Amino acid sequence: MFRTDEPQIRQEPANAHSTAEAVARRSYGKLVAFLAARTHDVAAAEDALSEAFASALADWSRNGCPANPEAWLLTVARRKFIDMTRRQHSKDAVDLYLQQIGEILADIPADSEIPDRRLALIFACAHPAIDAAVRAPLILQVLLGLDAAAIASAFLMSPTAMSKRLVRAKSKIREAGIPFRIPEREELPDRLDTVLEAIYAAFAEGWSDAAGTDAARRDLAEEAIFLCRMVIELLPSEPEALGLLALMLYAQARRLARRSGCDEYIPLTAQDPILWDLEMIGEAEEMLMRASTMGVIGRYQLEAAIQSAHVERRAMGGTNWEAILQLYDTLFSLMHSPVVAINRALAIAEAQGAEAGLKALQDVAEDERLAEYQPYWAARAELLARTGAHCDAHHAYEVAIGLERDPSIRRFLTRRQSKLQF
């Protein structure tokens, strides 16, 4: 059993908030997965852990941080879990929960590492019994602690609708007793797409915080890459998992080039390739090459190939937009996503001119999901400006600026808007 009530070493009280924040970023999903593994009650595990963090801030500020903060949180969360069960359930239910929690901790020696059951949690959230539309969002919330509003934005949905779907999905896990285990090999194909989609969405959420100033999103990109590596360890011959890892590594390799020394946003086409991480790019190339030998082409391999084509600018001195457009054409035929359509329109503009790009963008303009999607308005503004429709471009920039969360990108868009002439 964990013995964490009287840790032998404590840190200074002033470190309480930073320690709690670091533990949340590093171990939130690990702790939720551990607490929910036997009870299947993800919502209760999240609530118990939330209360444990609140207790930690009070206790650690007063008494100093424990030597093993994860174990401290797990012990307190277990108590909170039991207290909630006593308030909400019958004596028989409480006895069952106590038995389950005891089984969870029974084989763990004192001060050991908490077993990592995140992969089992991921596949539980991807179970066929759960509504397909909410599986990936559910993984993001229970594994990474993202709130419904952030998840809704990633999936072009309203926060209210997303919140309701997440609550229903967690109830389904509890009521159906969905097992927290890695599926048998024949079950994997039905769940893998959801798992990869969630990992990529987590990466995208972390990627959008280029400066690393948002505590809720900091380190998400690294966490997504780590989770993808876990999936590849489980399925080393799955080409789409390899493709996704390659895609994320290509993007992560450019992180330092995305901002100037003054924290100004630099778009991909204006980045200095000297700042790109060559070792990370090399690993991405290796992953993509491995995937390409397996004879199955999928979304993530195509997106990684697009990133690879952009990376070639470092050696060639220019971007092969025709090759990138061909890849986008293939990707769009595979998945008619409005996000892909926007990026394809921008590639058309580079290869064939702004008028052609704007026409392609107009084909998805009626999609209601794009009304509050910043990249659509930014792309529309750029292409309108290139075609000389400055009045319409000004309006599109205005909408894009209003929707953008990142101050650096807002400044970039404002500068582009200010150059328009009427």
Q: Are 57 and 19 in contact (CB under 8 A)?
A: no
Q: Are 32 and 142 in contact (CB under 8 A)?
A: yes
Taking the C-alpha atoms of residue 278 and residue 266, their distance in angstroms, rounded to an integer, is 19
What's the pTM?
A: 0.79
Those residues whose C-beta lies under 8 Å from the C-beta of residue 173, and which sit 6 or more positions away, are 40, 41, 42, 124, 125, 127, 130
Taking the C-alpha atoms of residue 324 and residue 86, their distance in angstroms, rounded to an integer, is 59
DSSP β-bridge partners for residue 66? 10
**Per-residue model confidence (pLDDT) at position 55:** 93
- Mean pLDDT in consecutive groups of 10 residues from the start of the chain, 422 residues: 39 72 84 82 89 92 88 86 70 60 50 72 88 89 84 85 93 87 78 90 79 55 89 91 97 93 91 94 97 93 96 87 96 92 96 96 89 94 96 97 93 95 76
**Per-residue model confidence (pLDDT) at position 178:** 87
**Per-residue model confidence (pLDDT) at position 369:** 85
- Going by C-alpha positions, the residue among 165, 141, 172 that lies closest to residue 46 is 141
Reading the block at residue 50, the tokens are: 């939330």
**Per-residue model confidence (pLDDT) at position 265:** 93
Crossing angle for the helix pair 16-39 and 118-125, to the nearest 10 degrees: 60
Taking the C-alpha atoms of residue 63 and residue 60, their distance in angstroms, rounded to an integer, is 5
**Per-residue model confidence (pLDDT) at position 109:** 44
**Per-residue model confidence (pLDDT) at position 34:** 85
- Going by C-alpha positions, the residue among 187, 25, 204, 37 that lies closest to residue 118 is 37
Cα three-residue angle 281-283-289, rounded to 5 degrees: 100
Taking the C-alpha atoms of residue 229 and residue 182, their distance in angstroms, rounded to an integer, is 15
Element (H, E) at 165: helix 159-176
Kindly list the distances between the CA atom of residue 191 and the CA atoms of 18, 39, 125, 186, 201, in Å, as whole numbers in the listed order: 36, 22, 9, 10, 16
**Per-residue model confidence (pLDDT) at position 336:** 87
**Per-residue model confidence (pLDDT) at position 6:** 37
**Per-residue model confidence (pLDDT) at position 107:** 45
**Per-residue model confidence (pLDDT) at position 177:** 85
Those residues whose C-beta lies under 8 Å from the C-beta of residue 196, and which sit 6 or more positions away, are 228, 231, 240, 241, 244, 300
Phi, psi of 10, deg, nearest 5: -130, 150
Phi, psi of 42, deg, nearest 5: -65, -45
